[in-house]
Amino acid sequence: MRTLLIFIVVALACGLPDPGLLAEERVLFAFDDHSIPWQHNLKVTLLPATKHPENPVLRRGPEGSPDHGHAALYGTVVKVGDKFRMWYLAMSQSEFKQGQAPDYWRPMCYAESRDGVHWEKPELGLVEFNGSTKNNICLIEGDPFSLTRVDDFLSVLHDPKDPDPARRYKAAFIAHLPYDDIRGGMSKVGAKEKRVCSTICATSADGLHWKVVGDRPANAGGERFEVTSLYRFGDFYYSTGQLISPWSWLPDGSDAGRVMQAYRSPDFKTWSQAKALAFARPGQLANPPIKGQQTHMGAGLWNRNNVMVGLYGIWQDAAALPPKGAPHLTGVHIDLGLVVSNDGIHFREPVPGFTVISRGQPEEWDDVALLQGHAFVNEGEKTMIWYSHWDTGGKLKSMDIGLATLRRDGFGHLSRKSDGNAAHFVTNTFTAGTVSLNVEGITAESPLTVQLLDPLDQPISGYTSTITQNGLHQTIVWPKPLPAGQKVALRVDYPAESSARVFAVYLND
């Protein structure tokens, strides 16, 4: 209790919110033009993340370990209590064989940290590997056994509100199953191999011991699907991921390359066969399409209660065909770009093509292509984002895990477009008990004026205030309590000479 009180005092002194409020906090990001649709003389500026100087922060293990070949954040990072928890994919070999991991298995490995920078790989003692259980491999149980063999993208959801303690951690991952192991069958459209890319779901009480949900893939009876994310938004669980022709196409039926699709489930047991086109790059939707643009492996996503934000793979084909004998993806480059969704289904880029995390310069550890994870944590004054490197040349060079940071929720800000002119924005309507701003650049001579409006855009008497201080979470002090249960909108006015930059509006009940 004393630790919690100390944290609250420090947090409030730093302009950060009471941690007890964070769970249900809603965020109106500056770049979210659905939540802040009405703007006058304003522009949105997105910001790149800063790579950590100690990168990569989680490296491959020594020879003979499960992750000697690579440690890839085709995975998840969350913070539970005072501990950062990471689930990642490992491979013991130094290269793929015929494009696949040995035995179609990349173990689900676990790491933990106190600061998100320095990681430990605990000996879990759950799975035998190379004759020993002294490793960090999580146990996955299921029948048939092939359901338990993680081979590709892994997403873990911490779901503490589930009334069943055994389901408070949920996972979705890719396994490549023999067709004969799939009870209920599977579409063989476009099949060229004896195995099929299948979506497997599992649950756990502790995130270490897992049991597969049911006895067949979530997409049994349907088509292959490269699942890359798992989250709950509103009444449904959603899994998004990557599909490519012939399993995916644009609304007019034309080929799309790699695009992001979404499936849903009301109970985490049964999943829809119908899918939604969740996101494609503008170049993919153009007529004719822009050559070489694709959307790699859906997006790594962060649920902020009222909005989903995340990073997707900005795939660019190689400029020329690879040399004879080289892996077929040699020369492909991938950076990570920002996406946002207000319904958990349809995603968009606030600024098309903007790169939040760029691949490194030649010969740097992350110089070829980047992989996004579900790995976002607000810690103190920073937003922490973990990501991974992918050597598309097939040699698995420096496939480790890195960290990048932003100002807390600092993906972008709204500032004045034209000098010498005032500016303002108006949010969509909401109900809330408190309203706060994440803002910098305010001066004593140019404070921001804030005002509540009714649903017809009219000022509500007695609800005008000023913001005179900068901070990550500056609570607006109103002359009287906000009207309980009444829908209102927030208007924020910038003076003509203001240098203010608003990153986000926070709503708490």
The residue ranges of DSSP E strands in 293-441, in sequence order, are 293-303, 308-316, 333-341, 355-357, 369-379, 382-390, 401-407, 412-416, 423-426, 434-440
Q: Are residues 264 and 373 in the same domain?
A: yes
Burial class of residue 373, CB neighbours in 10 A (0-12, 13-18, 19+) = buried
The confidence score (pLDDT) of residue 223 equals 83
Give the domain extent around 470: 2-47+413-508
Q: Are residues 115 and 54 in the same domain?
A: yes
Cα-Cα-Cα-Cα torsion 322, 338, 158, 10, nearest 10 degrees, comes to: 130
Gyration radius of the chain over CA positions: 24
418, amino acid identity: S
What is the pTM assigned to this prediction?
Answer: 0.94
Q: Are residues 16 and 69 in the same domain?
A: no
Q: For residues 337 and 374, what is the distance between their CA atoms, to the nearest angstrom?
A: 14
Residues 6+ apart with CB under 8 A from 174: 150, 151, 152, 153, 154, 197, 198, 199, 200, 226, 227
Q: Are residues 78 and 227 in the same domain?
A: yes
Q: Are residues 393 and 470 in the same domain?
A: no
Distance in angstroms between the alpha carbons of the first and the last residue of the chain: 24
Q: What is the CATH number of the domain that holds 27?
A: 2.60.120.260
The confidence score (pLDDT) of residue 1 equals 39
Cα-Cα-Cα-Cα torsion 207, 210, 213, 214, nearest 10 degrees, comes to: -170
The confidence score (pLDDT) of residue 192 equals 67
Among 409, 430, 446, where does a domain finish? 409
Report which DSSP code applies to 486: -
For 430: left if phi > 0, alpha if psi spans -120 to 50, otherwise beta; the answer is beta
Which of 106, 96, 160 shows the shortest CA–CA distance to 138? 106
pLDDT, one tens digit for every residue, the chain (509 residues): 343 333 333 343 344 544 433 457 999 999 999 999 999 999 999 999 999 999 999 999 999 999 999 999 999 999 999 999 999 999 998 777 767 788 889 999 999 999 999 999 999 999 999 999 999 999 999 999 999 999 999 999 999 999 999 999 999 999 999 989 998 888 776 666 788 899 999 999 999 999 999 999 999 888 889 999 999 999 999 999 998 888 888 999 998 899 999 999 999 999 999 999 999 999 999 999 999 999 999 999 999 999 999 999 999 999 999 999 898 899 999 999 999 999 999 999 999 999 999 999 999 999 999 999 999 999 999 999 999 999 999 888 999 999 999 999 999 999 999 999 999 999 999 999 999 999 999 999 999 999 999 999 999 999 999 999 999 999 999 999 998 889 999 999 999 999 999 999 999 98
Enclosing H/E stretch for 3: helix 2-13
Buried b (16+ CB within 10 A) or exposed e, 78-117: bbeeeebbbbbbbbbeeebeeeebeebbbbbbbbebeebb
The confidence score (pLDDT) of residue 189 equals 66
Residues 6+ apart with CB under 8 A from 85: 77, 78, 79, 110, 111, 112, 207
Q: Are residues 392 and 440 in the same domain?
A: no
| C-alpha to C-alpha distances, 304 to 184, 191, 258, 260, nearest whole angstrom | 36, 38, 26, 20
Q: Are residues 100 and 150 in the same domain?
A: yes
Is the bond leading into 122 cis (omega within 30 degrees of zero)? no
Among 361, 388, 409, where does a domain finish? 409
Cβ atoms of 293 and 284 within 8 Å: the answer is yes
Enclosing H/E stretch for 499: none
Q: Are residues 391 and 447 in the same domain?
A: no
Q: Are residues 438 and 402 in the same domain?
A: no
Enclosing H/E stretch for 6: helix 2-13
Q: Are residues 292 and 268 in the same domain?
A: yes
Among 383, 409, 435, where does a domain finish? 409
Q: What is the CATH number of the domain that holds 55?
A: 2.115.10.20
Cβ atoms of 8 and 19 within 8 Å: the answer is yes
The confidence score (pLDDT) of residue 204 equals 98
| Domains contained in the chain, number | 2
Q: Are residues 176 and 323 in the same domain?
A: yes
Residues 6+ apart with CB under 8 A from 22: none
Cβ atoms of 237 and 294 within 8 Å: the answer is no
Q: For residues 176 and 150, what is the distance between their CA atoms, to the nearest angstrom?
A: 8
Q: Are residues 109 and 204 in the same domain?
A: yes
